Amino acid sequence: MDHGATSGQLPQPVRQRRRHRTLGLLVRVLERLRHIKRRYDPRNLFRVNYNIPPA
Protein backbone atom coordinates (compact mmCIF):
# COMPACT_ATOMS: atom_id res chain seq x y z
CA MET A 1 0.00 0.00 0.00
CA ASP A 2 1.37 3.38 -1.03
CA HIS A 3 0.35 6.20 1.29
CA GLY A 4 2.17 9.00 -0.50
CA ALA A 5 5.54 10.31 0.65
CA THR A 6 7.78 7.76 2.30
CA SER A 7 10.53 10.18 3.34
CA GLY A 8 8.82 11.13 6.61
CA GLN A 9 8.32 14.71 5.47
CA LEU A 10 5.04 16.55 5.24
CA PRO A 11 3.63 17.24 1.77
CA GLN A 12 4.59 20.64 0.33
CA PRO A 13 1.15 22.33 0.75
CA VAL A 14 1.03 21.33 4.43
CA ARG A 15 4.53 22.76 5.05
CA GLN A 16 3.58 25.99 3.29
CA ARG A 17 0.39 26.41 5.35
CA ARG A 18 2.28 25.70 8.56
CA ARG A 19 5.00 28.22 7.62
CA HIS A 20 2.36 30.82 6.71
CA ARG A 21 0.56 30.35 10.05
CA THR A 22 3.82 30.60 11.98
CA LEU A 23 4.87 33.80 10.23
CA GLY A 24 1.42 35.29 10.77
CA LEU A 25 1.64 34.51 14.48
CA LEU A 26 5.10 36.06 14.75
CA VAL A 27 3.92 39.23 13.02
CA ARG A 28 0.99 39.55 15.45
CA VAL A 29 3.21 38.97 18.48
CA LEU A 30 5.75 41.56 17.32
CA GLU A 31 2.97 44.07 16.65
CA ARG A 32 1.58 43.48 20.14
CA LEU A 33 5.01 43.96 21.71
CA ARG A 34 5.49 47.18 19.75
CA HIS A 35 2.12 48.41 21.01
CA ILE A 36 3.12 47.62 24.62
CA LYS A 37 6.48 49.33 24.17
CA ARG A 38 4.79 52.40 22.66
CA ARG A 39 2.44 52.57 25.67
CA TYR A 40 4.94 51.96 28.48
CA ASP A 41 8.14 53.39 26.98
CA PRO A 42 7.12 56.34 24.77
CA ARG A 43 10.52 58.07 25.20
CA ASN A 44 12.39 54.86 24.32
CA LEU A 45 14.32 54.77 27.60
CA PHE A 46 14.88 51.03 27.28
CA ARG A 47 16.50 51.33 23.87
CA VAL A 48 19.29 48.92 24.82
CA ASN A 49 16.83 46.05 24.27
CA TYR A 50 17.24 45.41 20.54
CA ASN A 51 14.53 42.76 20.42
CA ILE A 52 11.65 45.24 20.01
CA PRO A 53 12.12 48.19 17.67
CA PRO A 54 10.87 51.56 18.89
CA ALA A 55 7.34 52.41 17.90
How high is the pLDDT of residue 17?
A: 86
DSSP-assigned letters across all residues of 15-34: HHHHHHHHHHHHHHHHHHHH
Residue range 1-55, pLDDT digits in tens: 455 555 678 788 888 888 888 999 999 998 998 899 889 888 887 777 667 666 6
CA distance 11 to 15: 6
pLDDT at position 28 is 94
How much is the pLDDT for 7? 67
